[in-house]
Amino acid sequence: MSTMQEKVAAVVIGRNEGDRLIRCLSSLSHSIEHIVYVDSGSTDGSVESAEKLGVSVVTLDMMQPFTAARARNAGAEKICQLFPDTEYIQFVDGDCEVDLTWVDKAYTFLNKHAAYAVVCGRRRERFPEESIFNLLCDIEWDSPVGDALSCGGDALIRIDAFRSVSGFNDALIAGEEPEMCYRMRQNNWKIKRIDAEMTLHDAAMTQLGQWWKRAKRAGYAFANNFQLHGRDSEHFKRREMMSIIWWALVFPILVVILSLYDAVFSSLFLLYIVQIFKIVLSANYKGLTIRQALYYGVSTVCAKWPQLMGILSFWGNHIKGRKGRLIEYK
């Protein structure tokens, strides 16, 4: 067994991913021997499929509220029990296929850079051409290379750093990765996005309703993270919160009120068009076509309204002392 195989294990989470899960586990098995799959109530034979591939399986008690954070923590705990010599955990969502070269590159980086807790790479959409919504996901995944504030669901994480912040926050129904990375950064750990292919993700998002739910989930996550850390020195997620509230609530109400006095004020709604074209121009660095950049700009501006719904949903639950339910788009 190589040194890397001794030090790196993987946690895969999923529910009813079917063939996508088999593809995910198979892609990992090329570079990682120790793999734990955490299942959250699948009814499609996912557990049996994972066991046939020789993967250790954890099935969550669905009497407790399910969150991706809870699943990842359960997987990490199992890794530490079964493979105590593990130093790094590759977290992967079950609808992703891991690039054959990724684990080696990520391991090499963390092994050489002790100040970094997390390393991630390029996540791509498997079928960006099948729908505008899949394309939008692919554009979103193309984050800048270099030091980063957070990672996504796919990342190689140093166990010492993971333990230092007690892992993910089980209570979060969304936004658990940036929240954990925030706590890591407060402990002087760093996060890196390297220029390397990491995973192929299958969003399977073909309907407007799916896009709406995904944007609503993002708004819920912003509000929850702001509630937890927004008053700290970094003002975590305050900018995102204020932008959503301004463009989706305060600004349109203000324009409507002003228009009651003079219809000319209704022309202020054109600022939404200006915002779209500002985003289109700024998207050039991603190498997008004009049409792709326009899709991205329209989506970014229009997403403010479902994001606002997510914010209001969170604060409604928070004020009433209720736990939020998962906002799933597929």
What is the residue-wise DSSP string for 99-165? -TTHHHHHHHHHHH-TTEEEEEEEEEES-TTS-HHHHHHHHHH-PPSEEES---SSEEEEHHHHHHT
Q: Could you tell me the pTM of the whole model? A: 0.94
Confidence band (pLDDT; 50, 70, 90) for 70?
Answer: very high
How much is the pLDDT for 282? Answer: 85
The yes-or-no verdict on residue 66 having pLDDT over 90 is no
Secondary structure class of 9 (helix, strand, coil): strand
Assigned superfamily of 3-206: Spore Coat Polysaccharide Biosynthesis Protein SpsA; Chain A (3.90.550.10)
Its sign, for the CA torsion 147, 153, 155, 161, is positive
Q: What is the mean pLDDT of the chain?
A: 94
Percent of the chain clearing pLDDT 90 (strictly above): 87
Phi and psi dihedrals of 28, rounded to 5? -75, -35
Nearest to 93 by CA among 158, 160, 11, 206: 11
pLDDT tens string 297-330: 999 999 999 999 999 999 999 999 988 888 888 8
- The pLDDT of residue 38 is 97
Distance of CA 167 to the CA centre of its chain: 15
Phi-psi category of 199—alpha, beta or left, where left has phi over 0 and alpha has psi -120 to 50? beta
Task: Give the residue from 300, 317, 283 showing the smallest Cα distance to 247.
Answer: 300
27-to-2, 103, 167, 173, 218 alpha-carbon distances in Å = 18, 11, 25, 27, 29
- Token look-up 């003079």 returns 262
Distance (Å, whole) CA 136 – CA 128: 8
pLDDT tens-digit map of 86-108: 999 999 999 999 999 999 999 99
pLDDT digits (tens, 9 = 90+) for 259-275: 999 999 999 999 999 99
pLDDT tens figures, 224-259: 999 999 999 999 999 999 999 999 999 999 999 999
Position 329 scores a pLDDT of 86
Q: Dump pLDDT digits (tens) for 124-134.
A: 999 999 999 99
What is the domain partition of the chain in residue ranges?
Answer: 3-206, 228-320
Which is nearest to 312 in space by CA: 234, 259, 240, 249? 249
> Does residue 1 have a pLDDT over 50?
no
Q: Are 41 and 62 in contact (CB under 8 A)?
A: yes
> In this prediction, what percent of the chain has a pLDDT beyond 70?
99
User: Tell me, what's the pLDDT at 2?
Assistant: 53
In this structure, what token pair is assigned to residue 77? 């705990």
For residues 186-199, average pLDDT: 98
